[in-house]
Amino acid sequence: MKVDALVPRARRLWEELARIPVSFAPPGGVDVVVSPRSGLCPDGWVGVVALGGSAIATAPSESAAAIVRDALGQLPVSAVVDGDAVRQALPVGQMLGPAMLSYVSPAGFRPVPADAMVMEQLPSDHPDLRILEHTAGPEDADEAALDEITSPTFVLRDHGRVVAAAGYCAWPRRTAHISVLTAPEARGRGLARVTGSAAVVHALSAGLLPQWRARPAASRRVAAALGFEELGSQLSFEIAAAIA
């Protein structure tokens, strides 16, 4: 599967997550719809996803959609997922992102073997994973969301303690949303690449589309090392209460 085939597949995923009929507009456009139960953002927020030169956005109400449609319509597509540009165009409260959306095909995947390291598999509710999350801290643990993994969790240990873990959550449209977490003291040793590679191998073997969503630069570098291509990005935000 080539990169140009990955974009339509990724778009169909996010169109379904909008939970209301919506399609990516022609190049350069943004399709804004009302979807109070949108999977693009937290409840009551606005969610925007740009992929392949166009974007979709969901808003919680008709009034919010009108505001967003007017503001985002004045921006180039590259800017509708740019936090600074959106803040200049709209009164925004809380914001999440932007996060890069990366995908990989079987042909583009660059696996990283475990070599001498022993790879173990654990269920996502294993207590050793909760210890790893505690060690990593709430921000990194929330980003990784190991507790949402539906695949086996691939882990590496150091002196008996789990120091790196990866797996994926099954998303709609046969998508595998990859999760990776490494203990702070074990970073810089390539462990995220090894565990992440194992998760991608498992996903591709099941015929799934691996998706890597990342904000931190370090996570994006791991994805790139495994062959993932950054095809778009996601931003979600809360419209200021005074105009919502």
Higher pLDDT, 117 or 241: 117
Can you tell me the mean pLDDT for 140-148?
92
Q: Give the model's pLDDT for residue 88.
A: 93
| Sheet containing strand 161-171, strands side by side | 30-34, 54-59, 46-51, 229-239, 92-103, 209-214, 175-182, 161-171, 153-158, 120-122
Q: Give the model's pLDDT for residue 5.
A: 86
CA–centroid distance for 188 within its chain:
22
Q: Give the model's pLDDT for residue 27.
A: 85
Tell me the average pLDDT of the chain: 93
- At 128, which CATH number? 3.40.630.30
Are the beta carbons of 51 and 231 closer than 8 angstroms?
yes
Residue 123 has pLDDT above 50, yes or no: yes
Are the beta carbons of 46 and 238 closer than 8 angstroms?
yes
User: What are the tens digits of pLDDT across the range 37-54?
Assistant: 999 999 999 999 999 999
Q: Same structural domain for residues 135 and 223?
A: yes
Distance in angstroms (rounded) separating the CA atoms of residues 227 and 125: 29
Q: Same structural domain for residues 91 and 136?
A: no
Q: Give the model's pLDDT for residue 3.
A: 53
Whole domain around residue 17: which residue ranges? 3-100+233-239
Q: Same structural domain for residues 45 and 135?
A: no
- 112-116, 159-163, 238-242: which range is least confident on average? 238-242
Its pTM stands at 0.92
Q: Same structural domain for residues 16 and 74?
A: yes
Q: Same structural domain for residues 86 and 147?
A: no
Q: Give the model's pLDDT for residue 28.
A: 80
User: What are the tens digits of pLDDT across the range 146-168?
Assistant: 999 999 999 999 999 999 999 99
Q: Same structural domain for residues 80 and 36?
A: yes
